[in-house]
Amino acid sequence: MRLLPKEVESLWTLFTGPTIWAVHFLVCYVAVAIYCEKARTGPFTFAEMRLALVLVTLLALAGIVLSAWLAWRQWGFGSGDPPHDAPTREDRLLFQGFATLLLSGLSFVAVLFVAVPLVLIEACQP
Amino acid sequence: MTEVVAFQDLSADEREAQERKLREIWRTPCGWRYWTSVNNTQIGLWYGAAAFIFMLFAGVLALLVRVQLAVPENGFLSADLFNQAFTLHGTVMMFLFAVPIFEAVAIFLLPSMLGARELPFPRLSAFGFWSFALGGVFVCGSIFFNAAPNSGWFMYPPLATDKEYSGIGADIWLLGLSFIEVASIAAAVELIVGIMKCRAPGMRVNIMPLFAWYLLIVAGMILFAFPPLIAGDILFEMQRMFNWPFFDAERGGDPLLWQHLFWIFGHPEVYIIFLPAIAIMAMIVPTFAQRPIVGYSWIVLAAVGTGFLSFGLWVHHMFATGLPQISLAFFSAASEAVAIPTGVQIFVFIATLLAGRVIFSVPMLFGTGGLAVFVIGGLTGVMVALVPFDWQAHDTYFVVAHLHYVLIGGMLFPVVAGIYYYYPLINARKLSDRLGKIAFWIMFAGFNVAFFPMHLVGLRGMPRRVFTYPADIGWDWFNLVSTVGAFVFAAGVVVVVIDVLRPKHRQPKEQINPWNAGTLEWISEPEENWGVRSIPIITSRYPIWDQPDLLEDINAGRYYLPDAQDGARETLVTSVLDARPIQCLRVGGTSILTMVAAFSLGGVFIALTFHWWIVTIFCAVLTLAAIVAWLWTATAEIPRAEFRDIGLGKKLPLYNSGPRSVGWWGMFITMAGDGTAYASLMFGYFFYWTIHEDFTAGHAGPGVAWPLLAAGLFTLAWLAMLLARRVNASDRPGMTRAALLLSAALTLAGCLAGIAGPHRSGMDPTAHVYPAIVWVVAIWTVAHGAIGIVMQAYCLARSLAGRMSARHDMDMHNVVLYWHFLVITAVTSFGVVGLFPAVR
């Protein structure tokens, strides 16, 4: 069994990083929204929820790193420089790899941005 | 791919015969029938012209607003007319200018930019245009009857649900704009399929024009941004028309749900407006820097990144509503993050200009001037994205200044740049350099004089949307200066209008590609309607620069599809990643059906506004008939021959079904949008659950049995559809028809069971929001079931008419695809309304 997936040729791999960002964002927002309306009196505390969301964040970051690694591999581990504008399948793959790698970077930073409130804010309405 | 192409040269006679035939097939009709044209050049032009006229109208409204505010205690407009004027100004600028102008530019430019003859669904573009034009006239016209919407362009309840205050204006807004949203989604479907599947052979994703990348992302955003507003419109209109209390706090509703749904649409919309304008810049900058763009991949990063992040910003319009501060902080963080990709694209442009030899032309003037203005708006955006600052500036003129800097700098200036740049494609002549420069400096100066003081008066506490103010609180001079600036700005716009409209027949015609641009749209000849003379093989991002003799070879008809031997409008379908040719697609030609469908659908919305129920039903039936006639006569046609020789020794199939066909993609994309609207309704259901201790408030639910029975029947109906597709694939028409009938009967039963739940428990939707939301979910699902039955009947009729077989099964594949979405909808709807109250 292989640990990492085989190389996929599809337009959709481009969106992996941003999709992980979107899911992470939604999980954080929905969890907090429901907690602050409903679970104030519930079985777990804000600190516990915060911890859970930090774990979700780490998971999301790990997913983005994985997608970045796959993109790096598709980009030939940086063997060629952009612009990747030759009319060949190879250059198309290199372009996809590079663009995916860039998007993974942006998504990583964006997930970190969204995670900052989890570190700094200790209650629904501090 | 550097396969050697063996051109075959034709004699001059043969070539002329081909051209005559092509010209005949793609001819624009004359007389009144001109308006039945569906060709992308006409539709694009009408679309753009209509959007521009709406813009001028909304601009006049803005001037009225500015006159009223010029001096304190002014009586130029009454408070109510002032409210109508600013509401209509915002509404028209956003819905009738900013979004449609990009659809116009895209429909006009994309086919030639991609080297296609046409986009895949030309009649859909025409339908979209007529819907937009009719809806726009309806909404704009209301102010002449003193009946325009007057609660601000985002229509917050409870103000906008108050019938005494808002009169019929709110209905005009809701129904008129829902109608226009249909047009936007139609355009999104057209553009996504066009960009993914209709690029010229060889135009792989790494060499596709950046404009196409941007438009692909924008069309995807429309698909996820507009449906929440449609869902919101449905809830809103149900409250106004039938008193279902979705936003009425007394009966369990909540005005905040509207704010959520509106801004889930409204914030991405800002980027839906901004990205196409920046896409025009991405075409202009390389031309005038005389070199390829620096950092193509970085632009793709920026477009995709902005597209995604823009969906995580909507609550920053709601910072002052009392949501938990940690929630606000998430949105604040995402609002800061979106500055990264936005900045990247501006740096890419600067780098390209630094690396090239810049020609400072009028389009560059408008483009760079616009970006400078936009950067200021972006920086104030970063300021208001911070919660504490926003609490100070919220609903003041600071926000008015910010949004105008963003929209006018990020959209209006680049669009004017685009008008100056692309005008030769419309008229074979350039606009005047001199007038262009004059217009730019007047507009640029006027804009800053008008809007910069608004930052300051906003910080001095002037709230937006007040119709007048007292003299002694330090706002008067700022407002007077703003008004003067607004008129100066308007004078600049008038210069542009004069330049566009002035007769130019004495001016000599320019050669093709007067700016010496590198991208493919510049091969198109303004006199010809066929898009491209022959469809080229593309091997570069800037084919006109890099592919020698390209223009000559195209115009000599040496590439694909140089003729129209079967007398049909044709274009090529290619694969998504590498643009390998896979099909020769016949597209719809001139037809009045699209107009009939658009006008009758418009009739439905307009009649609903005035509660003319019989007219509504009549128009709805007419719409259905027009759409069925349109589908029956012009889609999934069975070609006489299976293959078509497209030239250069290549033969392609004329008929594809399933994921290989463009129709399947159209259905998939439409249903993705439909699914988003549905998800927004379900969001509403759970929203009410979160805000209440007991969201049923003691009201009876639909029970468990009926909903689960409905879910089961829909599942069986879906299985019967799978069976129908299977037996059809083995060419057993009798069995296929039986399976279709069985599925239709099961669907009907499922619909009845779905209604029976809330009906038999006597749920009264006017009593409380819980029964109301259950009813809405059930009705949405059942309505989709009814559409499913129509589709099954259509397949049955196709089969009986001998138009559907194992080989020609496009209709069947598309309907089964619809059913995949329908079964997910039905199981979710009935599962949730049946089980959730018990398990929560």
**pLDDT tens digits along B403-454:** 999 999 999 999 999 999 999 998 889 999 999 999 999 999 999 999 999 9
Instruction: State which amino acid sits at residue B580.
Output: R
Closest to A124 (Cα-Cα) out of A13, A32, A17: A32
B632 belongs to a structural domain? yes
Residues in A closer than 8 angstroms to B296, CB to CB, are 82-85, 95
Q: Is the pLDDT of residue B681 over 50?
A: yes
Q: Which tens digit of pLDDT belongs to each residue from B533-543? A: 899 999 999 99
Closest residue in A to B217 (Cα) is A15
**Whether residue B552 is found in the same domain as residue B698:** no
B639 vs B385: CA distance, rounded Å: 57
Would residue B20 count as lying in a domain?
yes
Partner residue opposite B325 with nearest CB, options A11, A37, A121: A121
Question: How much is the pLDDT for A2?
Answer: 64
Three-state helix/strand/coil letters over B81-134: HHHHHHHHHHHHHHHHHHHHHHHHHHHHHHHHHHCCCCCCCHHHHHHHHHHHHH
Residue range B164-191, pLDDT digits in tens: 888 899 999 999 888 888 889 999 999 9
Amino acid letter, B754: G
Contact list in A for residue B323 (CB cut-off 8 A) is 33
Facing residue for A83 by CB, picked from B296, B325, B576: B296
Mean pLDDT of A85-97: 91
pLDDT at B527: 81
Residues B165 and B209 in one domain: yes
What integer pLDDT is reported at residue B4 of this predicted model?
55
Contact criterion met (CB < 8 Å) for B691 and A37: yes
pLDDT at A3: 63
B652 and B689 belong to one structural domain: no
The CA distance from A54 to the nearest CA of chain B, in Å, is 13
> Which pLDDT belongs to residue B1?
41
What CATH number did the domain enclosing B689 receive? 1.20.120.80
Residues in B closer than 8 angstroms to A99, CB to CB, are 297, 300-301, 304
* Contact flag A33-B297 (C-beta cutoff 8 Å): no
Q: According to the model, what pLDDT value does residue B635 have?
A: 85
Provide Rg for chain A, Cα atoms: 18
E strands, chain A, in order:
none
The residues, ordered by sequence, that sit 6+ positions from B729 with a Cβ below 8 Å of its Cβ are: B806, B809
Range scoring the smallest mean pLDDT among B115-124, B678-687, B770-779: B115-124
Residue B187 lies in a domain: yes
Mean pLDDT, range A32-36, rounded to an integer: 90
Q: Do B578 and A21 touch (CB under 8 A)?
A: no
Q: Residue B413 domain-assigned?
A: no
- Locate the domains of chain A by residue range: 15-120
Which pLDDT tens digit goes with each residue over B293-327? 999 999 999 999 999 999 999 999 999 998 999 99
pLDDT of A45 over the 90 cut: no
Best of B297, B310, B318 to disrupt the A interface (most A CBs within 10 Å) is: B297
A125 contacts B308? CB cut-off 8 A: no
Q: Please state, rounded to an integer, the average pLDDT across all residues of chain B.
A: 93
Q: Mind listing the pLDDT tens digit for each residue in B600-615?
A: 999 999 999 999 999 9
Q: What is the mean pLDDT of residues A11-23?
A: 93
Of A82, A92, A124, nearest to B326 by CB-CB distance is: A124
Chain B residues within an 8 Å CB radius of A28: 330
> What percentage of chain B has pLDDT greater than the value 70?
99
Q: How confident is the model at residue A4 (pLDDT cuts 50, 70, 90)?
A: low
Q: Are A88 and B330 in contact (CB < 8 Å)?
A: no
Residue A86: CB partners within 8 Å, gap ≥ 6?
A: none
Q: Does A92 sit within 8 Å of B578, measured CB to CB?
A: yes
Quick one: closest CA in B to A34, which residue? B690
B318, B231 contact by CB (below 8 A): no
d(CA B771, CA A124) in angstroms, rounded, equals 30
The answer to whether A36 contacts B301, with C-beta atoms less than 8 Å apart, is no
Residues B216 and B159 grouped into a single domain:
yes
What domain range is B787 assigned to? 683-839
Is pLDDT at B839 greater than 70 in this prediction?
yes
> Contact at 8 Å (CB) between B59 and B493?
yes
pLDDT at B2: 45
Q: Provide mean pLDDT across the span A42-56.
A: 89
Nearest Cα residue in chain A from B337: A110
- Residue B531: which region, alpha, beta or left (left: phi > 0; alpha: psi -120 to 50)? left
Give the residue from chain B lying closest to A94, CA to CA: B206
CB contact under 8 A, B1 and A88: yes
The pairing of beta strand B650-653 with beta strand B643-647: antiparallel
3-state secondary structure B170-233: HHHHHHHHHHHHHHHHHHHHHHHHHHHHCCCCCCCCCCCCHHHHHHHHHHHHHHHHHHHHHHHH
> Do both B50 and B85 map to the same domain?
yes
pLDDT surpassing 70 at residue B755: yes
pLDDT: which is higher, B12 or B823? B823
Residues B110 and B226 in one domain: yes
By C-alpha distance, which of B739, B757, B737 is closest to B747? B739
Using the beta-carbon criterion (under 8 Å), do A99 and B297 form an inter-chain contact? Answer: yes
- The answer to whether the CB of B265 falls within 8 A of the CB of B229 is yes
Give the integer Cα–Cα distance in Å for A120 and A126. Answer: 10
Q: What is the dihedral of CA B467, B469, B475, B479, to 10 degrees?
A: 30
The alpha-carbon gap from A11 to the nearest alpha carbon of chain B, in Å, equals 7
Are A102 and B298 an interchain contact pair (Cβ–Cβ within 8 Å)?
A: yes
Token code pair at residue B362: 């009028």
Distance from CA of A61 to the nearest CA of B (A): 16
Q: What is the DSSP string of B225-287?
A: HHHHHHHHHHHHHHHHHH---TT-GGGT--HHHHHHHHHHHHHHHHHHHHHHHHHHHHHHHHH
Task: Identify all chain A residues contacting B336, using CB atoms and an 8 Å cutoff.
Answer: 113
Whether residue B304 and residue A15 make contact (CB cut-off 8 A), yes or no, is: yes
- Are the CB atoms for B469 and B477 separated by under 8 Å? no
Token pair listed for B742: 């069985």
- Residue B501 lies inside a defined structural domain of this protein: no
- Same domain, yes or no: B573 and B690: no
Q: Which residues pair with B652 in a beta bridge?
A: B644
pLDDT tens digits along B366-404: 999 999 999 999 999 999 999 999 999 999 999 999 999
A90 is written with which tokens?
A: 């190879």
Q: How many structural domains comprise chain B?
A: 2
Of B260, B62, B247, B261, the residue nearest B160 (C-alpha): B247
> Residue B677 — very low, low, confident or very high, per pLDDT cuts 50/70/90?
very high
Residue labelled with tokens 């553009």: B191
pLDDT band at B3 (very low <50, low <70, confident <90, very high): low
**B700 and B788: one domain?**
yes
User: Which of B521, B562, B353 lies closest to B426, judged by CA?
Assistant: B521
Report how many Cβ contacts below 8 Å link chain A to chain B: 139
Question: The domain that contains B265 carries what CATH number?
Answer: 1.20.210.10
Q: Are residues B65 and B196 in the same domain?
A: yes
